[in-house]
Amino acid sequence: MGLQGDFYQLLKEQGYAFGLAGQAKVEQDLIAATTILAFKYRDGVLVAGDRRATAGNVVMYDRTDKVLEIDRHSVMAIAGVPATAYEMARVLEHSFKYYRRTQLQELSFEGKLRALSKLLKENVPAALAGTGAVAPIFAGYDSEQEAAKIYFYDILGAEFEGVEYAVSGSGSPTIRGILHYLNTWGEQPLSALSEEQATIQALRLLTSAAEFDSATGGVNRDAGLYPVIKFVAAGGVRATPDPQLRALFESKVSRTT
């Protein structure tokens, strides 16, 4: 009765072994390598992710977009198996668009949260088999409450509101502690940061994650590769262009300048 953690952790504590059908009981790592984060800043929510995709200890791709725009007021950041995550994003995008065109209004923010939760619940067999686990972050602007919000999910579809911030992926333990420290004892809380200050913090956080997690892709200046950073506010979703990220990284993040 003293067990703590999500349902997946509880199953592990009880001795449940996760494996593929027909194989010996070999435990699978259900959270694929990646680092995504979201936090509230002065005008809304910043959502960011590194760009590395891995298969075991092999780097498969370093140009992955893990912060996906679902509609003009919401984004989904993905951590987990890319094939499953991208399919969920496509289903959500189509569903939201269909509702908007048939009902002549956007689906409510609450409805969007339920839609993602439903997809994750339907994916539980694949998640528990170790072939399709996804632990996303969903951020959007709630027009009814006139506020940008952050929600994160476990692989079984349970949703939790990130009051100030949320993180997911293999590099998340590193930056969760940093976010708590910054938000509690920093010069100002995260929610008071300007857009530029928030962007700088996101670059620093993902650079820190890459330093301690080999599966998280950092900045590659030679290739011109920078994290994907998007903002969600009343005016909609907006991405930060690479030239702006490059300038901020060179002036505020890199230790060689």
Cα angle 208-214-217, degrees, rounded to a multiple of 5: 65
Q: Could you please report the per-residue DSSP string of 128-175?
A: HHTSS-B--EEEEEETTTTEEEEEEE-TTS-EEE-SSEEEEETTHHHH
Cα angle 26-28-30, degrees, rounded to a multiple of 5: 165
Beta strands 44-49 and 53-55, pairing class: unpaired
* DSSP state, residue 219: -
**Residues 178-192: b if buried by 16+ CB within 10 A, e if exposed:** bbeebbeeeeeebbe
Distances (CA, A) of 21 to 25, 120, 129, 192: 9, 20, 8, 50
User: Who contacts 243 (Cβ-Cβ below 8 Å, separation ≥6)?
Assistant: none
- Could you give the count of Cα atoms lying within 13 Å of 160 in the half-sphere of its Cβ? 14
- How far apart (Å, rounded) are the C-alpha atoms in residues 242 and 225? 8
Residue 171 is encoded by which pair of tokens?
A: 């590099």
34 is catalytic: yes
* Catalytic site residue from 34, 35, 64, 84: 34
Active site residues: 34
